[in-house]
Amino acid sequence: MAGRRLPDVATSVEYYEDLLEGPMAELEGTVLVVRGATTAEVAEVLGAIPPEEVPEEDRDAFDPTWGTYVFVQLADGVLAYEDAGYADPSVEALAAMSRGGRAAAVVRDNVQGHLRFGCARDGQLLFDDDEYMYADDRSGVPDEIRPLFDLAWVDLADEGSFAADGTAVALAMAEVITGARLTREDLDKLQDGSGTVLAVRSMAYVDGA
């Protein structure tokens, strides 16, 4: 099942810019959206465990080897958020979460300012870049998200070029791929204690790159 193409890319980006105002204004970390999956299925692919099961030797606050995700069940899928930006899934895990007619997308912004966007459908990786706004080669960008992608892409050869908000654009691209439009209520659930909290090993993406 293909993702949903948005008729107006500018309107889509504006929607996510508005959504990110307020408590989520300084969104950093990892946002993961998987269509057609349950929390348990996504957690299994990520190797997630209850926080209390993290080995004692791995609980060094100054050298964390685990990140904490909050999982929220959507109408047809899962939203997950990790606030550090270092426990985002490997490309293999992203593709695995999309198997069986599912779709998955990841948006990650860490303290180094690396804004990643990756997406997969039906077990196949469609696109992934650790700093997608500065991609050297745009030929591999799927046609269905290219109009949005180009809004955020920075032409390093043109000092006067303008780029739209990269996080808002990435979330809009995630919607196209997964068909899931995030709402303020969804984001509120990430913070109100109603989600499922699980620990995931950090650096899986970096180690697999």
Range in 36-50, 59-73, 94-108 the model is least confident about: 59-73
| pTM for the model | 0.91
Q: How much is the pLDDT for 28? A: 81
Domain-located, residue 204? yes
Give the separation between CA 181 and CA 188, rounded to whole angstroms: 14
Please state whether beta strands 103-109 and 115-121 pair in parallel, antiparallel, or not at all (unpaired): antiparallel
Is the residue at 15 inside a domain?
A: yes
Provide the number of structural domains found in the chain. Answer: 1
Query: Does any domain span residue 187?
Result: yes
Q: Is residue 3 part of a domain?
A: no
Match 């990841």 to its residue by tokens: 106
Closest by CA position to 38, among listed 30, 50, 28, 46: 46
Q: Which domain holds residue 94?
A: 9-208
Q: Please tell me the distance from the alpha carbon of residue 24 to that of residue 132, in angstroms, as a whole number.
A: 21
DSSP letter (8 states) at residue 192:
S
Please tell me the predicted confidence (pLDDT) of residue 139: 94
Q: What is the pLDDT of residue 62?
A: 55
Tell me the mean pLDDT in the region 75-97.
95
At CA 83, angle to CA 34 and CA 130, rounded to 5? Answer: 65
User: Could you give the C-alpha distances from 64 to 57, 60, 205, in angstroms and in order?
Assistant: 10, 6, 15
**In-domain check, residue 1:** no
> Is residue 128 situated within a structural domain?
yes
